[in-house]
Every structure is written in C-alpha cells, then in structure tokens.
A = this chain, B = another copy of it.
Amino acid sequence: MSLPAIILVEPQLGENIGAVARIMANFGLSDLRLVTPRDGWPNPKAEEMAAGGIAIVNNARIFPSLEEAIADLQYVVATSARQIRDMEVRSLAPRESIANIPEDFATGIMFGRERIGLTNDEITFADSLVSIPVSKDCPSLNIAQAVAIITYEWHLRFGENSVSKKPEKSPPANKTDIVNLFHHLESELDRKNFFRVPEKRQIMVQNIRNMITRAQPSEQEIRTFRGIIRSLTDENPGKKPRNG
C-alpha cells in the first residue's frame, strides 16, 4: 500500500494547514499538496501549528489547479459534508471508504475549502466520496478534524508495516490520462452539438465524467476509449493509417 497524498483545495487558514500536517505525521503520512492556498505560501501560521509535522509543511507542494495536483494519482477519494444530489457517486462512511481503496494504487484524499467544501466539478475527479457521519444540528467539521478522522481510519487499516502485494495487472490510468480523455470526448461532443441545451451542459458533463471515473479504467482501456472516439468521429474510415 502506498501512502496516500492529502490534497487541500484552496485552504484558507494557515493554522488549519499546519494542523493537517501535524495529524498526517501522527498517522505516518507525508505527501501534502495544496491547491492555491488563499494566503499564499509559505505561511508562518502553518509552520507554528505543525509541531511534529513541520517537515510536511516545508515539503508541501503547491499546485495552480486540482487537475495538476492529482495528475499522477490513480485513485482519488473526495470528502464531502453532504450527499451530492444529481450526481451518481455513492458516498461512504470513512471505514467503508478506506476499506474500498484499491491496494497499490497511487491514492489521494482531497478536502475542500473551509465552509464551502468541494465543488461538484471538483468531485467529478473522484473515484469515491466519503462523508463523516455528524450530528444534524452541527454538521460543519473543522478541516483538520476531518483529516484526523479519515487518516485515523487509514492508519487503522494500513498503518505502519502493513505490506501486501497484489498480482500485476494492466496499470490503472492516472488522472492525467483520464482528464485528457474527458477533454477529448467533450470537445468532440461540443463539435457534434451534443449539448443542445447550454444550461444542461455542466450537469451532463459531470454525469459522463462520473461514469468514466467509476469504471476505474486502466491505461490500456483509456487508449482503447480514445481510439473509439477517434473511430466514431472518423468520416472517412478505412482510408488512412491508424493514428495510434
């Protein structure tokens, strides 16, 4: 089991980033990725709060977009405070969610902004959704507390020296491959006027992306899928050499 990356999308308070780094160190994690932290980087408040996680703060990587932050990952879990209506991603409890992480996938767990969380668009990049069960009367968790609970469950299942090896399979596609497939398919659908009602384009794109993500395609399958798109849109089939 490789150690999961923790991805914070547009985190606002340095204190929270530091507290996240500390709990990551408590549970043996190290790969912290920040998508455009609001107050810039480095952030002295993050350093103050990090305690034993100071090296994690110092080595945190900053990305200009979520897509870039997850580009090398093969399986991404999104945390969400709410059930996402209109989206066909099932939300799991933390224990169940961690149990479902495929072994030997490069994994990331992403957390949204304080208060507003992740957008539906961001969630389309996720292979699964996790929700921490909380009181209906006070559902808003501090982000570092949410990270604590999820990483605690991760540590319980996979913690130090839990090694397991799986037989080799066609390697799972990483998020770069998947995002490129999204863009290829969507640009062809735009060209073909598939999204006739502009207001519905976004939700339709989300549903298509979710369906593809859920299949957890391998690298080979992504190549096949892109070949299918090229083939279906080819108006002169059989007349030129195959381009990949």
In the complex, what distance in Å separates the CA atom of A152 from the CA atom of B189?
45
> Which residues of chain B have C-beta atoms less than 8 A from A53's C-beta?
138
For A185, what are the chain B residues with a Cβ–Cβ distance below 8 Å?
228
A76-92 toward B: CB 8 Å interface, digit per residue (1/0)? 00000001110111111
In the bound complex, how far is the Cα of B193 from the Cα of A237, in angstroms?
6
Contact A224:B211 (CB < 8 A) given known A133-B159, A141-B23: yes
Partner of A168 from the list B85, B96, B137, B165 (CB cut-off 8 Å) is B85
Give the distance in Å from the alpha carbon of A136 to the alpha carbon of B152 in the complex.
Answer: 14
How many protomers of this protein does the assembly include? 2
> How far is it, in angstroms, between the C-alpha of A170 and the C-alpha of B207 when the chains are bound?
12
- A234 proximal to B (CB < 8 A): yes
Question: Within residues 213 to 244 of chain A, which ones have a CB less than 8 A from any CB in chain B?
Answer: 214-218, 220-221, 224-225, 227-229, 231-235, 237-238, 242
Within the complex, the shortest CB–CB distance from A203 to chain B, in Å, comes to 11
- Tell me whether A39 is interfacial, beta carbon within 8 Å: no
Whether A234 contacts B136 in the complex (CB less than 8 A), given A142-B23, A148-B148, comes out as no
Given known pairs A88-B169, A159-B133, A192-B232, the reply for A211 and B204 (CB within 8 Å) is: no
Closest CB in chain B relative to A216 CB, distance in Å: 7
Checking B83, B88, B196, B220 against A165 with a beta-carbon cut-off of 8 angstroms, the contacting residue is B83
Residue from B22, B160, B237 in contact with A192 in the complex, judged by beta carbons closer than 8 Å: B237
Looking at the complex, which one of B167, B189, B242 makes contact with A196 (CB distance below 8 Å)?
B242
Do residues A26 and B135 form an inter-chain contact, with CB atoms below 8 A? yes
Q: Which residue of B has the minimal Cβ distance to A54?
A: B138
Per-residue B-contact encoding for A17-49, CB less than 8 Å = 1, 0 else: 001001101111000000000000000000000
Residue of B nearest to A140 (CB): B52
Contact between B145 and A91, CB atoms less than 8 A apart: no
Q: Is A131 among interface residues, defined by CB-CB distance under 8 A? A: yes
A residues 185-199 near B (Cβ < 8 Å) are 185, 188-189, 191-194, 196
